[in-house]
Amino acid sequence: MIIRRTLITAGFLLSSVFSQAQSAPVAAASALTIDQAEAAAIANQPRLLAAQLRTRASAQRIREERSGYMPMVAFNASGVLVADTGASTAAGNITTSAISDRFAYGGNLTQLVTDFGRTSALIGNARYTATAQNDMATLTKAQVRLNVREAYYQTLGAEAVLRAAQAAQANRHLISRQLAAMAQSELRSTLDVNFANVLESEADLAVVRAQSTVAQQRSRLATAMGQSLPITAALSEPSASAEALPPSPDALQQQAQTQRADLSAIQAQQSAAHEFALAEKRLSYPTLNVLATGGEIPYHDHTLRDSYAGVGFNLNIPIFNGNLFNARREEAELEASARTRDVEEVRLQVNEQVRDAWYRADEAYRSLDVTARLVAQGKEALRLAQDRYEAGLGNIVELNEAQLNETSAEITAADAIYTYFTRRAELDFASGLLN
């Protein structure tokens, strides 16, 4: 009867641990919440900060391309201190002006009148490229949030398993001491004591492994938050309950098609490729520029005037360049067509990811009831094995097997709720809800 009371007490302790794992107790003031963990990751994660900087850098390309519409002004100064009149006829020179002692300074202005839309297409390409980079930064943010949630829930699950293993360890040690005392009184055999000692050692090993898992998960959580030191603060239990999933992944798939950042990015890249192909096509169009120059010649030969100025235009019409422009145009158009196929591929991948994530989350959700039943069945099997053992109808091997099954059920149930939360986070990411 002593062993039975001990097992009942231990079973009640394990049930209490499992109930605490599924409920949401009031967290201590110093406990780290999942929202705080995500905020820390968004502020500190180097990968996200790098993506945001690349977004800002990509936006500068718009200004670079738009500069083609602006006038180009340059200041020049030049001088010849010692001149040989024969230098104008030296090898490598075909100038018609004479070389003479002089110093001059002035400015040049070049203004694009029209390039028949090439600069406009390049600006469009830069805009879509910047949009794609911004979408990639949004995707990185969603991935950072997912990593934090996974690490957070897995840490909570590991700690729940540790509590269940520690409760089982305390129970095994108590039973081992009780059987040792009864064996000394010749109420139980030494075989029973040996079996109890084996289970005691197995419980100790389970605790060691669970402690190692908790340490690893806390280290992973720190990395996900962008911190170098492991997280030591207590974690707050999630406030949300295990809500049921939508009846099918269809609605989530439609949502993902409009909200997934990687899909938006590849679509923007396709548009950028189309604009670039348009710009390459317009390479073969004429360009018209207005040119102006003016300045002073304070020191010069007596044959030169004191100042100079001029206004003109330059019309450039490409005639033949070895089919360079045609090759560049065809290359850009083929790349734009390839980008269209990339968009279709990503759409298929998004649909598949949403379906897989929904099936995994649905499996974890339906497992909650199964693990609860498994715990109840394990407790009942342990009670029956204990009754048979006390009545002399069963042996210690049968009782120990029932104890192992009951402990395994408790540990599985303790981790089940956090497995569901983890897979639900994966489904939210696949659906584009973590942007």
The one-character DSSP state at 240 is S
Asked, for residue 200, whether it belongs to a domain, the answer is yes
Q: Are 218 and 11 in contact (CB under 8 A)?
A: no
308: left (phi over 0), alpha (psi -120 to 50) or beta: beta
Measure the CA–CA gap between 346 and 262, rounded to whole angstroms: 8
Asked, for residue 60, whether it belongs to a domain, the answer is yes
User: For the segment 54-86, what is each residue's pLDDT rounded down to a tens digit?
Assistant: 999 999 999 999 999 999 999 998 876 655 555
Asked, for residue 311, whether it belongs to a domain, the answer is no
Q: Are 11 and 406 in contact (CB under 8 A)?
A: yes
Q: At residue 6, does pLDDT exceed 60? A: no
Asked, for residue 316, whether it belongs to a domain, the answer is no
Asked, for residue 298, whether it belongs to a domain, the answer is no
Can you give the pTM of this predicted structure?
Answer: 0.81
Asked, for residue 358, whether it belongs to a domain, the answer is yes
Residue 46 has a CB neighbour count (10 Å cut-off) of: 8
Tell me the mean pLDDT in the region 237-265. 88
Asked, for residue 349, whether it belongs to a domain, the answer is yes
Asked, for residue 173, whether it belongs to a domain, the answer is yes
Tell me the mean pLDDT in the region 390-417. 81
Residues 6+ apart with CB under 8 A from 410: 14, 15, 17, 18, 164, 167, 168, 375, 378
Here the CATH number for the domain that contains residue 255 is: 1.20.1600.10
User: For the segment 15-59, what is each residue's pLDDT rounded down to a tens digit?
Assistant: 444 344 444 333 344 789 999 999 999 999 999 999 999 999 999
231: left (phi over 0), alpha (psi -120 to 50) or beta: beta
Question: What DSSP string describes 55-75?
Answer: HHHHHHHHHHHHGGGSPEEEE
User: For the segment 150-208, what is each residue's pLDDT rounded down to a tens digit?
Assistant: 999 999 999 998 988 898 888 888 888 877 887 787 767 777 788 888 888 888 999 99
Nearest to 364 by CA among 245, 252, 238: 245
Q: Provide the residue range defining the domain that includes 234.
A: 2-103+116-287+322-431
Give the model's pLDDT for residue 240.
63
Q: Are 152 and 221 in contact (CB under 8 A)?
A: yes
Give the model's pLDDT for residue 251.
92
Please state the domain count of the chain: 1
Residue 305: both structure tokens together: 């005037």
Measure the CA–CA gap between 302 and 304, rounded to whole angstroms: 5
Q: Is the dihedral of CA 139, 144, 148, 151 positive or negative?
A: positive
